[in-house]
Amino acid sequence: MSAATADTAAPTMKQYVDVHCHIIHEQFAGEEDDVAQRARDKGLEFCVVNGLEPKSNRAVLELCARHPNSLLPALGIYPLDAACNVISADVWPHPFPPPDKFDVDAEVEWIDQMCAEGKVVAIGECGLDAYYCTEPAQLAEQERVLRRLIVVAKKHDLPLILHTRKAELRTFEILQEMEVTKADFHCFCGKAKLGKRIAEAGYYLSIPSAVNRSEQFKKLVKEVPLEQLLTETDSPYQGPEKDMRNEPMTVPIGVAVMAMVKDITEEEAMVAIRANFRRLMNI
């Protein structure tokens, strides 16, 4: 089935959403259109595909252009990539290569231009990562780039989709300082108490399909009001079963678990989450 045919197929009655996925990941190479179709077959109305750096940002636009009625593009600069020019390969301590260097400021300007042309629904993935980046210069550069992207998001009235690993509170503080009103804390792994503060400030927290096997995510779902929750997959990561390759079609599994935790029907959970998504994305 061609992409054009797939995107005009009769919609199902279900209307799930995935606010954060990486269908352009190398694990999906050659399968991107099939992944999009499987998502539609499982009742996903929209999937937001997130970029990380120049190559993936452009791949996101190309893929979403083939599926304009179901895949929505978000362009960003992942925290590790944001710090690429202050990371030294000689002392990089992790078991994967450091990010490739690129002109980060030029990429911010390009993202700004894509927003001006109406090609983007959100800024992301972006944010802070204090798990892999611990050097002061790396963290400072991440903050500088995040602040630049916040300016772009506010300029175009777009939401931010945030990575906040081991930097949840600092990210929240920056949003408050810069008077950000639209943001989603993707795959939030901080304490539930902070999650409640984030929700009270009007921001959203998106829960991955891994809630099926994670007591931490279940606790977060229990503590945060349904009106501030969203669903995501972080595909190919955060699957409902350990070590499985995840993709957007697993969102219904996450919604079922969230509904159970909230003691409501799956239909009630799906409808509320869809309304949250449309509110955040101005759809």
What own/partner pairs with CB < 8 Å and gap ≥ 24 does 248-251 have? 248/18, 248/21, 248/23, 248/35, 248/36, 248/38, 248/39, 248/42, 248/44, 248/47, 249/35, 249/38, 249/39, 249/41, 249/42, 249/44, 250/209, 251/16, 251/17, 251/18, 251/39, 251/42, 251/44, 251/209
Plot region of 242 (φ>0 → left; ψ -120 to 50 → alpha; else → beta)? beta
234 is an annotated ligand-binding site residue: yes
Residue 223: helix, strand or coil by DSSP?
A: helix
Cα separation, 205 vs 230, whole angstroms: 6
25 assigned binding-site residue: no
Please answer whether residues 152 and 123 qualify as being in contact, where contact means their C-beta atoms are separated by less than 8 angstroms. yes
163 is known to lie in a ligand binding site: yes
Measured CA to CA, the distance from residue 123 to residue 108 in angstroms comes to 10
Which has the closest alpha carbon to 20: 254, 272, 260? Answer: 254
Q: Is the peptide bond before 236 cis (omega within 30 degrees of 0)?
A: yes
Is 125 annotated among the ligand-binding residues? yes
Q: Binding site for a divalent metal cation: which residues?
A: 20, 22, 125, 163, 186, 234
Residues forming the annotated binding site?
A: 20, 22, 125, 163, 186, 234
